[in-house]
Structure 1
């Protein structure tokens, strides 16, 4: 089952938001040697550059959509990225789908759609190594009509958007994780890093 109001947009408008996704990931603290799980990876807009950054550590690209994962497998093969592993599964039971604990769990553009944040965050914590980090990249809580890409409103409905403070409160109430960094990700997003 998909998270509420989340779907895979095309690469064209993602690239208008983030022409350099690898730089975005580095600004959020991703570095060589970080084993990473991307939750709801879609067709790999972040997973592919993450695998280049974290190599030789693995990137587990988790999604419920087998078609998007097949597309990501093709792209990884074409780009000779052999540390990326696609994982078909529901992120609500993340630890069940990973072969090992990870240093970083990343969720991009979908935390607003998580139906049970407490249970979801508990699963993320169970998937993390003892000193692991949880990174949430999400839309600012601005009216949807103000977040345009290619001339059209984009992102979740206004009423689903949650502020960085609300996100931090949800994660911290559900776990021992604490926000240690807040990153502005222009033009419409924020990133929170929890340890």
Structure 2
């Protein structure tokens, strides 16, 4: 039996689909009585729709690497662009994060 037959590929629903079912992940996590200081495993987390809400409840705050450990957006560009990519979009994800979408430059 092949691996494909044992574990058929499935597509994850998009974020809008999850939002239609559970428009407020924080409320769902509170209803599950997940709270500060608990140890929680997010099994089958898919794209992490509930992960941030769980982290907020358990940690009492948003999480991210220490400031001195994070690469700035400029440092990220300096590392990625020489490999043949160009920054297409930068998205601020407050309070601690940003997203960077790079596209491959075709020669």
What TM-score, normalized by structure 1, do the two folds share?
0.27
- Is the strand fraction higher in 1 or 2? 1
Q: Which has the larger radius of gyration?
A: 2
What TM-score, normalized by structure 2, do the two folds share?
0.46
| Greater RCO, 1 or 2 (C-alpha within 8 Å, sep 6+) | 1
